[in-house]
């Protein structure tokens, strides 16, 4: 397994290209680039960020999906086509970055997110997304998110039945926020996990950097190994959690140490 860091760590403090460059100052073996706004959803911006990253590999891109992902499943033809165009632009940027994966949240609603089998035209629209991504050497991975369509192990199974060959992003913090046991989510996704996002959690239910909370990371890593996972363990902190850069570096070192002990 490799340890990575998301450029989202510096969201709000640095523009995307500078955030990506700053990732190089930390002990990360790979990165994920968080694209923040429409002007960044294009090949030329991906090329700019690729230059800023130097020789640091970019494994995935994560856009601000609330700007367009729900419209991919809209009922208006023009709305859908516009959203597909935006999605294609994100994948153009991803291809320029050398990214393998697009991290997909899917339709979301804080109160009552639709389960996968209730998403409008899911199979047709997701099929189009797969084709667009594949043309650029990328794959769409569906992430578990506490306020979106895949929240529970049962949602994982529904999505898998509707979309054969579907692969997933395991997000530890989103499982915790949704009241889901992380090990149960790993068991549900199984050998279809392709990417992992990590943050820790304390006894009061507050998010912390890995190593500062109560998550049993050795158990999490052992469960991932048991389903054959050998990809990236990507630290994805929110901006306010990364302001203490000494603590951020310490957390990355902690993850490195855990993996070396496995």
Contact 55, 102 (CB under 8 A): no
Give the mean model confidence (pLDDT) for residues 186-213: 96
- For residue 261, pLDDT beyond 80: no
Give the mean model confidence (pLDDT) for residues 244-255: 97
Give the mean model confidence (pLDDT) for residues 97-123: 90
Looking up tokens 């009241």 gives 179
Q: pLDDT for 30-58, tens place per residue?
A: 999 999 999 999 999 999 999 999 999 99
Question: What's the pLDDT score for residue 84?
Answer: 98
- For residue 260, pLDDT beyond 90: no
pTM to 2 decimal places:
0.96
Q: pLDDT for 142-174, tens place per residue?
A: 999 999 999 999 999 999 999 999 999 999 999
Question: What's the pLDDT score for residue 233?
Answer: 98
Question: What's the pLDDT score for residue 73?
Answer: 96
Give the mean model confidence (pLDDT) for residues 187-210: 96
Question: What's the pLDDT score for residue 138?
Answer: 98
Half-sphere exposure in the Cβ direction for 32 (13 Å, CA): 29
**Mean pLDDT for the chain overall:** 96
Half-sphere exposure in the Cβ direction for 147 (13 Å, CA): 7
Question: What's the pLDDT score for residue 110?
Answer: 61
> How many percent of the chain have pLDDT more than 90?
93
pLDDT tier for residue 262 given thresholds of 50, 70 and 90: low
- Cα-based distances in Å from 39 to 19, 108, 132, 158: 16, 23, 19, 35
The residues with which 35 forms a beta bridge, in sequence order, are 63
CA distance 249 to 252: 5
List the single range of 4-18, 103-117, 156-170 with lowest mean pLDDT.
103-117
């Amino acid at each position: 397994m490799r340890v990575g860091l998301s450029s989202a760590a510096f969201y709000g403090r640095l523009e995307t290209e500078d955030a990506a460059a700053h990732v190089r100052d930390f002990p990360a073996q790979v990165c994920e680039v968080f694209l923040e706004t429409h002007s960044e959803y294009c090949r030329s911006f991906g090329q700019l960020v690729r230059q800023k990253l130097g020789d640091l590999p970019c494994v995935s891109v994560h856009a601000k999906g609330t700007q367009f992902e729900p419209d991919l499943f809209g009922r208006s033809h023009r709305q859908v086509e516009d959203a597909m165009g935006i999605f294609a632009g994100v994948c153009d940027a991803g291809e320029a970055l050398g990214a393998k994966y697009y991290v997909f949240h899917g339709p979301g609603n804080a109160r009552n997110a639709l389960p996968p089998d209730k998403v409008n035209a899911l199979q047709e629209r997701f099929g189009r997304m797969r084709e667009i991504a594949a043309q650029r050497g990328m794959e769409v991975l569906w992430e578990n998110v506490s306020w979106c369509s895949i929240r529970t192990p049962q949602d994982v199974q529904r999505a898998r039945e509707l979309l054969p060959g579907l692969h997933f992003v395991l997000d530890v913090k989103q499982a915790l926020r949704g009241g889901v046991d992380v090990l149960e989510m790993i068991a549900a996704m199984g050998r279809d996990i392709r990417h992992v996002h990590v943050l820790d959690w304390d006894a009061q239910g507050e998010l912390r950097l890995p190593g500062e909370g109560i998550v049993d990371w050795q158990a999490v890593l052992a469960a991932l190994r048991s389903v054959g996972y050998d990809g990236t363990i990507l630290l994805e902190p929110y901006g306010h959690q990364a302001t203490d850069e000494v603590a951020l570096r310490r957390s990355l070192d902690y993850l490195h140490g855990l993996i070396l002990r496995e």
